[in-house]
Amino acid sequence: MKEVSSGSRNISTRGMPTVAFAFYGRVSTEDNQDPESSRNWQLARAESLIAPREGGVVAEYFDVGMSRSLPWQRRHEASRLLAALSNPGRGFDAVVIGEPHRAFYGNQFGLTLPLFAHYGVELWVPEVGGPIDPDNEAHDLVMSVFGGMSKGERNRIKVRVRAAMASQTLFEGRYLGGRPPYGYTLRDAGPHPNPGKAADGKRLHALAPHPQTALVVRRIFGEFLKGSGLYAIAESLTQDGIPCPSAQDRARNSHRTRVAWSKSAVRVILRNPRCTGRQVWNRQRTDEVLRNVNDVALGHSSVMRWNPAAEWIVSKDISHEPLIDLQTFEQVQNLMKRRATSGTPHVKHRTRNTYVFRGRVHCGPCDRRMQGQYSHGVAYYRCRYTREYAIANEVDHPLNIFVREDALLGPIDAWLASAFAPANLERTLTAMADTQPVDPTQMRADLLRSAIVGCEAKRTQYRAALDAGADPAVVSGWITDNERERSLAQAELSALTQSQQNRLTRDDLRRLVTDLGDIGTVIKQADPAVKADLYRELGLILT
């Protein structure tokens, strides 16, 4: 009996089927769906499709917790499946998908099918009753519709959820979850209004003043209105031994180790409108931005960004006990605005001196980056740590720590020179050659070549349709779209081919090193700006 490794399990293949299939499926999140149940019904649907052809599943690739919007190359199991296609010993002849609505999103089908066709692996889906024909326009249309429906479903869910949350905030003042703001804690607000969730024991929550931190919030507003700055307020709170927000709520801030107050923590409290007793939502939004503008097939990444105050959703009525009144809050906002605009406009100054290790030197006691500073014509790196912060964080740190730049240059340059010494040269060249990416664009290039071949095949079909008497206007549109797609693929393929040709071989590296001559002398005499670029490219970090 042969054991075939699959996505998350091993499948026994005693008595191999006539056609060996790999199964692919996906479930979005464990919280909202049972992965095992989802996998079972998708697999059952796939097996019912291939059973009449005496086919059997010998490998599984099942993604759990992967959003449908992620391209196949960024899903764990889907990327493994794509990588297996190029392996002649992959163990399967075709791939079957039980639910294309979960597998493909937007234009993912059009970007993925050419890779299956290139490696001669059939793709089976129930919606076409068997394998997809890459040259069949009806098949292409059906799968494109499913991709569009998948994208539309996700967008509709986003719209409905956002509309519901905006309504619940505006009219009900409902607490929608998340970390309670500093100064508040959570209290029970009764059973959940949804009968199903209420039957599961879920309840609503609301904000209530925290017995200790609510007093701190009122103190911060009072001191700011009396003229104290953000830093002065933070320093006075630290001196009085009052835990900062991350120290007050350790359960939600286990990743933070600092307990001293900072200016940013004070600023967040002063700008939070929820301390006036009204619920606020939509202060932040999640934008989806392209990971690579030159390769849209890589999809998007989620980025959190702040919304302007005009887009916030604020409850019409007071929903929880206020810590300060609305008039006080507005006075503070106006005062912060005046202070921000009354001073001299900040001008970004150009660095007058070159620091070879800029951003590279970290302080040992506090692990922060040290700042560059010139004194009497000598470059130093300094870390300043106020006494109150050191005491609060239990860090043994002097007020200032200095290190001279020239004390670091000698040992670092000697280390680099030793790497290119005759005794170590071969090992260094091997390391340099091995660290170059091994054809990272090969899969994308294969995909593009398959797309170009597909475009050429379609062009032949379109011309045959025209000769057979099809509507010239319709066929002309098809040909135009096909030529545009082919041109884009050809341009991207040319760029990828050029980047692959720019890889350095071991002989190229040896020739470059030999042409430089004595590496030790070259490094020692190099311009400081050149050295700074070299250390940055090396990823050098000094502690």
The CATH number of residue 57's host domain is 3.40.50.1390
Work out how many domains the chain is built from and give that number: 2
The domain boundary, picked from 327, 342, 357, lies at 342
Q: Are 268 and 196 found together in one domain?
A: yes
What does the pLDDT read at residue 286? Answer: 87
Mean pLDDT, residues 186-215 taken together: 90
Please measure the distance between the N-terminal and C-terminal CA atoms of the chain and give it in whole angstroms.
Answer: 56
Q: Which domain holds residue 142?
A: 3-153
pLDDT one-digit tens code per residue, 309-363? 889 999 999 999 999 999 999 999 999 988 877 655 656 555 567 888 888 899 9
Task: Flag whether pLDDT at 96 surpasses 70.
Answer: yes
Task: Flag whether pLDDT at 152 surpasses 50.
Answer: yes
Q: Are 144 and 11 found together in one domain?
A: yes
pLDDT one-digit tens code per residue, 263-285? 888 999 999 999 999 999 998 88
Has residue 260 been placed in a domain?
A: yes
Provide the mean pLDDT of the chain: 83
Better-scored residue on pLDDT, 425 or 373: 373
Has residue 338 been placed in a domain?
A: yes
Q: Are 250 and 331 found together in one domain?
A: yes
Q: How confident is the model at residue 392 (pLDDT cuts 50, 70, 90)?
A: low
**b (16+ CB within 10 A) / e for 34-53:** ebeebbeebbebbbebbeee
Has residue 328 been placed in a domain?
A: yes
Better-scored residue on pLDDT, 204 or 524: 204
* 500 contacts 393 by C-beta, under 8 angstroms: no
State the Cα–Cα distance between residues 458 and 178, nearest whole angstrom: 52
The CATH number covering residue 197 comes to 3.90.1750.20
Mean pLDDT, residues 105-115 taken together: 90
Mean pLDDT, residues 453-466 taken together: 81
Better-scored residue on pLDDT, 368 or 50: 50
* 430 contacts 510 by C-beta, under 8 angstroms: no
Has residue 97 been placed in a domain?
A: yes
Has residue 28 been placed in a domain?
A: yes
Task: Flag whether pLDDT at 455 surpasses 70.
Answer: yes
Q: How confident is the model at residue 60 (pLDDT cuts 50, 70, 90)?
A: very high
* 410 contacts 424 by C-beta, under 8 angstroms: no
The domain boundary, picked from 104, 131, 153, lies at 153
* 265 contacts 397 by C-beta, under 8 angstroms: no
Q: Which of 96, 86, 31 is nearest to 61 (CA)?
A: 96
Mean pLDDT, residues 418-434 taken together: 79
Task: Flag whether pLDDT at 213 surpasses 90.
Answer: yes
pLDDT one-digit tens code per residue, 36-59? 889 999 999 999 999 988 788 999
* 118 contacts 88 by C-beta, under 8 angstroms: no
Better-scored residue on pLDDT, 394 or 213: 213
What does the pLDDT read at residue 4? Answer: 37
Give DSSP secondary structure letters for 448-495.
Answer: HHHHHHHHHHHHHHHHHHHHTT--HHHHHHHHHHHHHHHHHHHHHHHH
State the Cα–Cα distance between residues 356 and 395, nearest whole angstrom: 28
What does the pLDDT read at residue 358? Answer: 87
* 373 contacts 382 by C-beta, under 8 angstroms: yes
pLDDT one-digit tens code per residue, 460-477? 888 877 777 777 777 777
Q: Are 15 and 81 found together in one domain?
A: yes
Burial of residue 500 (number of CB atoms within 10 Å: 0-12, 13-18, 19+) = middle
Task: Flag whether pLDDT at 95 surpasses 90.
Answer: yes
Retrieve residue 276's tokens. 């006036």
Q: Are 203 and 127 found together in one domain?
A: no
Residue 122: phi and psi, rounded to 5, are -75, 150
Q: Are 9 and 110 found together in one domain?
A: yes
What does the pLDDT read at residue 20? Answer: 92
Retrieve residue 140's tokens. 């292409």
Q: Are 323 and 192 found together in one domain?
A: yes
Retrieve residue 348's tokens. 């970004």
pTM score of the predicted model: 0.58
The domain boundary, picked from 136, 153, 170, lies at 153
Q: How confident is the model at residue 10 (pLDDT cuts 50, 70, 90)?
A: very low
Q: Are 23 and 120 found together in one domain?
A: yes
What does the pLDDT read at residue 275? Answer: 95
Task: Flag whether pLDDT at 252 surpasses 90.
Answer: no
Better-scored residue on pLDDT, 369 or 24: 24
What does the pLDDT read at residue 80? Answer: 93
**Helix or strand or coil: residue 159?**
helix
pLDDT one-digit tens code per residue, 161-170? 999 999 999 9
Q: Are 140 and 258 found together in one domain?
A: no
Q: How confident is the model at residue 388 (pLDDT cuts 50, 70, 90)?
A: low
Q: How confident is the model at residue 157 (pLDDT cuts 50, 70, 90)?
A: confident
Has residue 113 been placed in a domain?
A: yes
* 294 contacts 488 by C-beta, under 8 angstroms: no
Has residue 380 been placed in a domain?
A: no
Q: How confident is the model at residue 238 (pLDDT cuts 50, 70, 90)?
A: confident
Has residue 80 been placed in a domain?
A: yes
